[in-house]
Structure 1
Amino acid sequence: MRFSANLGFLWSELPLPDAIRAARAAGFDAVECHWPYAVPATEVKAALEETGLEMLGLNASRGDPAKGEMGFSAVPGREAEARAAIDQALDYAEATGTGKVHVMAGFGGDHDTFVKALGYACGKADGLGKTILIEPINHYDAPGYFLSTTAQAEAILAEVGAENLKIMFDCYHVQLMEGDLSHRLERLLPKIGHIQIAAVPDRGAPDHGEVNFAHIYRHLTALGWAVPLGAEYKPGGPTEPTLGWLKAAQDI
């Protein structure tokens, strides 16, 4: 099994280009990030080329972190901001060779607004050969987040009707909200664009907690999944001491 280091959590104390280098030194197969926009895309691209790693995905702007915002693409009245954030994300993805952009819904949104924003995003992304992701996020960490279940995500995919719109299946969020990871992964696999992992319920390294990730890795391998899994966990301090799981998991 191959793994991608999510640099929103891992090595978050380092400048993004140095975090990319640290991920390579640790043995990760790819990287992904949250909001890279404070770093010039040329610097990120240079670090990716130096290390030979691919940036799998990044998030469109979350908005104002001081206000606790987590996107706004489903929020009525913020349509122009949403389109600008989508444009910014796709431009950055194009400049860094990143294939997937996660469009965040936000709090207090509505279905029609989100569908229209995603239609815009998918249309623009299609011309660039990129995939748009939407992610169900659990209501324990983000009470009131608009998108919270895989069934809701499926309904949105069906309505938008774009081949390049996929689900970001974060095992941590899905286990907290719905459980039954093995069956959900099998049924949803054609609709999934990226898979992420973290321990449940503490969102630590994926080597403890209520999910048997060794089983998940074997199950995904049997299903033919070949894309690196996103290690989006909170190390709770320096990243290196938490990486004992990585080599054993790569050997599965």
Structure 2
Amino acid sequence: MHRTGPQLRLAANLKWLFTELPFRERFDAAAAAGFTAVEYASPYSYAPETVRGWLDQAGLQQILINTPTDPFGLERFGLACRPDRVVEYRDGIHRALEYAHALDASFVHVLGGLRPVDGTGYDRAFATYTANIRWAAEQAATLGVTILLEALNRRDAPGYILNSVEQAADVAVAVGGCRVGVLFDVYHCQVDQGDITRRLETLFPVIRHVQIADAPSRTEPGTGELNWAHIFAVLRRLEYSGWIGCEYAPIAGTLSGLEWRDRFALNP
């Protein structure tokens, strides 16, 4: 495939890829598959120096982690919009930044949370979210870490505080300056909003990170409805120089599913 524009850089998301292996072994597997960087939601089951050792042994760069959540409850979507959980939210930010600093991760994705069902109105929940993001950005600035905001689709996360990728961008601009940006997830955007090209173009000044998966089933590029040759061409035309997180569920195993990198001229 003919390619123009800058080389696009891929990061393996170790929550979604190489799940055939224990988490510790996924680092070496990602490196053996040609990746030079990784991201994943939650390193918090392990000491930061342990994870740092796995990264160093595999020769990998850490790009992104999420704020801590309870993976088995509604809190898996975060606490940032909850007026009654601000202390816990701030504890989570401190913990995330501790790990980001130890792992040399550039980004912390702050999960916004579901709109409260205790009678708290949306406006109050959103005001709490905005104030909490501003506070997180102030803490992150001292470590050189950037806070990322991501709009999750309403099919997978009904009731999520952010209604659109545009709303995420508005918050980033309003509160963060250069220390808050948008995590543009192609899959979430396609499921909820579509019009990927125009949204990439319009929001590009505040996009700091991109994640990919095909729609409608969150599988690898080329297995669903999206035109990936076009999407990658748009990112090259825009001269996107950040990382692209591979956050998808392989249909038939991670390694066999990686052939899409050759098809779209995206070898690491």
Contact preservation (8 Å) 2:151, 2:164: yes
What is the TM-score of this pair, normalised by structure 1?
0.94
SS at match of 1:163: helix
Give the drift of 1:235: 1.9
The answer (yes or no) to whether the contact 1:63–1:72 under 8 Å persists in 2 is no
Show the counterpart of 1:206: 221
The aligned residue for residue 259 of structure 2 is 244
8 Å contact 1:16–1:36 — kept in the other structure? no
Contact kept, 8 Å, 1:55 with 1:98, in 2: the verdict is yes
More off after superposition, 219-228 vs 117-126: 219-228
Hey, what's the Cα distance between the residues in 2 that align with 1:97 and 1:161?
A: 21
1:58 and 2:65 equivalent? yes
Matches within 5 A, 1:110-121: 110-121=125-136
Match of 1:221 in 2: 236
Match of 1:174, SS state, is: helix
Query: Is residue 147–residue 153 contact of structure 1 (8 Å, CA) maintained in 2?
Result: yes
Structure-to-structure mapping, 1:1-252, within 5 angstroms = 1-63=8-70, 65-67=72-74, 69-109=76-116, 110-236=125-251, 238-249=253-264, 250=266
Q: In terms of Rg, which structure is larger?
A: 2
Q: Which amino acid aligns with 1:181?
A: I
Secondary structure at 2:83's aligned position in 1? coil
CA contact (8 A) 1:3 1:230 kept: yes
C-alpha change, 1:12 and 1:105, in structure 2 (3 Å) is: same
What SS does structure 1 have at the residue aligned with 2:181? strand
Determine if contact 2:166/2:203 at 8 Å carries over to the other structure: no
Count, aligned residues:
252
- Residue 11 of structure 1 and its aligned partner are, at CA, apart by 1.9
Q: Contact 1:62 / 1:69 at 8 angstroms: preserved in 2? A: yes
Between 1:46-55 and 1:217-226, the stretch displaced more is 46-55
Residues 251 and 4 from structure 1, CA distance in 2 versus in 1: closer, same or farther, beyond 3 angstroms?
A: closer
Amino acid at match of 2:138: G
C-alpha distance in 2 between matches for 1:121 and 1:176:
28
Q: Secondary structure at the match of 1:78?
A: helix
Question: Higher relative CO (CA 8 A, sep ≥ 6), structure 1 or 2?
Answer: 2
Following superposition, the deviation at residue 13 of structure 1 comes to 4.7
Alpha-carbon shift at residue 142 of structure 1 (Å): 0.9
- The residue matched to 1:176 in structure 2 has which SS? helix
1:52 maps to a residue whose letter is G
Q: Percent identity?
A: 37
- Name the CA shift for 1:145/1:67 in 2 (closer, same or farther; >3 Å): closer
Q: What whole-Å deviation, never above 9, does each CA across 1:84-109 have from its counterpart, x for those lacking one? A: 01110000010111110000011115
Q: Distance in 1 between matches of 2:46 and 2:19?
A: 13
Instruction: Provide the alpha-carbon RMSD of the alignment.
Output: 1.7
- Cα distance, 1:177 vs. partner? 1.3
Alpha-carbon distance, 1:76 to partner: 1.6
Runs of 5+ unmatched residues, structure 2: 1-7, 117-124
Q: How far did 1:50 drift?
A: 2.1
Contact in 1 for aligned 2:146/2:181 (Cα 8 Å): yes
Secondary structure in structure 2 of the residue aligned to 1:5: strand
Q: 1:51 to 1:167 in 2, by over 3 A?
A: same
What's the counterpart of residue 119 of structure 2? none
What SS does the aligned partner of 1:56 have? strand
After superposition, the Cα gap between the structure-2 partners of 1:196 and 1:121, relative to the gap in structure 1 and judged at 3 Å, is: same
Does the CA-based 8 Å contact 1:148-1:177 persist in structure 2? no
**Helix, strand or coil at the partner of 2:245:** strand
For residues 251 and 172 of structure 1, the distance between their equivalents in structure 2, rounded to whole angstroms, comes to 21
Q: Against the structure 1 CA distance between its residues 134 and 222, is the aligned structure 2 distance closer, same or farther, given a 3 Å change threshold?
A: same
TM-score by length of 2: 0.89
